[in-house]
Amino acid sequence: MMDERDVYRAKEAMQSMTKKGPMRLLLIIGAILFFFLFLHPWVQIGAGERGVVLNFGAVQDKVLDEGLHFRIPIMQKVARMDVKVQKAVTDAVSGSADLQDVTSSVALNYHIIPDKANVVYQTIGVEFKERIIDPAIQEIMKAVSARYSAEELITKRPAVSEAMRTTLAERLMVHNIAVDAVSIVAFSFSKIFTEAIESKQTAEQLALKAKRDLDRIRIEAEQKVTAAKAEAESLRLQRANISTDLIELRKIEANLKAIEKWNGILPQVTGGGAVPFIGVGDIQKR
């Protein structure tokens, strides 16, 4: 049988277990909260991004797609890389084929190849515009502009842009950066060349105006000649159609009009005593 000491020890043991139970539960809950709130065992990759996994700083081959992913706390970190289409504007100074100084502003649309985001992060980092894109644009702009004269750079801008796009695409693809579009925002030349271009344009406009004036004068002269020829031909045809009968008919028509206008009163003065009759002889001939 149990004595009083044994009963007392059992009571103490029960009380000790009762006290330690809630503490252990609180410790477990606190550890779980600490694990999830402070160690962040997950990572969320947003739209248009890729996650580069780093194991103690070493870049891994796996690239995380968009969505929620778990990671090992402390050991793993995830660097986000933007793979959406981005824009870079770069100013470049070059020379044309006719040795004119050219300052251009080039806009490049590009994006990182998503599956190669880890390679870009490892070899270039996130400052790829300053390290890769700007120098490439400046170098290629010099190479392309040297093929064209200063005037052709303006008149053949689409061809210049396409040549730059093709060359840039080859250059940047080596670094896993894809080129979407290249646009030449602006060209500027030296003040002397700009004034020469303006003078040439003014001269061409004046020459075009003079040519138009000459064409107008020539057309007006041709119209006058044509009208004169038509009038002369009309007179010739009228003369060819005049006959003796026609002349007599015109006389009779004139006399009839005179009779219609006569009021029936004879003239008060007669030169030789004879009464004049209008066109009597002509009517008799009729």
User: How many Cα atoms occupy the beta-carbon half-sphere of 130 within 13 Å?
Assistant: 3
Same domain, residue pair 75 and 165? no
Confirm whether 37 is domain-assigned.
Answer: no
Same domain, residue pair 51 and 109? no
Same domain, residue pair 101 and 76? no
Same domain, residue pair 122 and 178? yes
Same domain, residue pair 92 and 73? no
Angle at 283 between CA 280 and CA 286, to 5 degrees: 155
Of 31, 60, 82, the position where a domain reaches its end is: 82
Of 155, 189, 223, the position where a domain reaches its end is: 189
Same domain, residue pair 50 and 140? no
Question: Distance (Å, rounded) from C-alpha 109 to C-alpha 122?
Answer: 22
Of 189, 223, 243, the position where a domain reaches its end is: 189
Confirm whether 168 is domain-assigned.
Answer: yes
Taking alpha carbons only, the member of 237, 219, 218 closest to residue 229 is 237
Same domain, residue pair 153 and 74? no
Same domain, residue pair 101 and 71? no
Same domain, residue pair 93 and 179? yes
Return the pLDDT at 284.
44
Residues 6+ positions from 190 with CB-CB distance below 8 Å: 100, 101
Confirm whether 284 is domain-assigned.
Answer: no
- Length in residues, the chain: 286
Question: Distance (Å, rounded) from C-alpha 163 to C-alpha 165?
Answer: 5
Residue 159 in tokens: 């061809």
Confirm whether 57 is domain-assigned.
Answer: yes
Confirm whether 15 is domain-assigned.
Answer: no
Identity of the amino acid at 61 = D
Identity of the amino acid at 53 = V
Using left for φ > 0, alpha for ψ between -120 and 50, and beta otherwise, residue 43 falls in beta
Confirm whether 10 is domain-assigned.
Answer: no
243 phi/psi in degrees, rounded to 5:
-135, 175
* CATH number of domain containing 156: 3.30.479.30
186-to-16, 17, 107, 138, 199 alpha-carbon distances in Å:
83, 82, 10, 14, 21
SS3 138: helix
Domain that holds residue 156: 86-189
Backbone CA torsion sign across 253, 259, 262, 263: negative
Same domain, residue pair 54 and 141? no
Place of tokens 């590009």: 110
Confirm whether 111 is domain-assigned.
Answer: yes
Confirm whether 207 is domain-assigned.
Answer: no
Q: Please state the pTM of the whole predicted model.
A: 0.57
Same domain, residue pair 76 and 132? no
Cβ contact 68:47 at 8 Å: no
Return the pLDDT at 181.
92
Per-residue pLDDT in tens (0 to 9) along the chain, 286 residues: 445 565 556 556 555 655 555 666 666 666 666 655 566 778 899 999 999 999 998 999 999 999 999 888 888 899 999 999 999 999 888 888 887 888 889 999 999 999 999 999 999 988 888 899 999 999 999 999 899 988 888 888 889 999 999 999 999 999 999 999 998 888 887 777 766 666 776 777 777 777 887 888 888 888 888 887 877 777 776 666 666 666 676 777 777 777 776 666 655 555 555 545 444 444 444 4
Cβ contact 154:187 at 8 Å: yes
Same domain, residue pair 126 and 147? yes
Counted domains in the chain: 2
Exposure string over 131-149, b if 16+ CB within 10 A, otherwise e: ebbbebbbebbeebbeebe
Question: Distance (Å, rounded) from C-alpha 256 to C-alpha 211?
Answer: 60
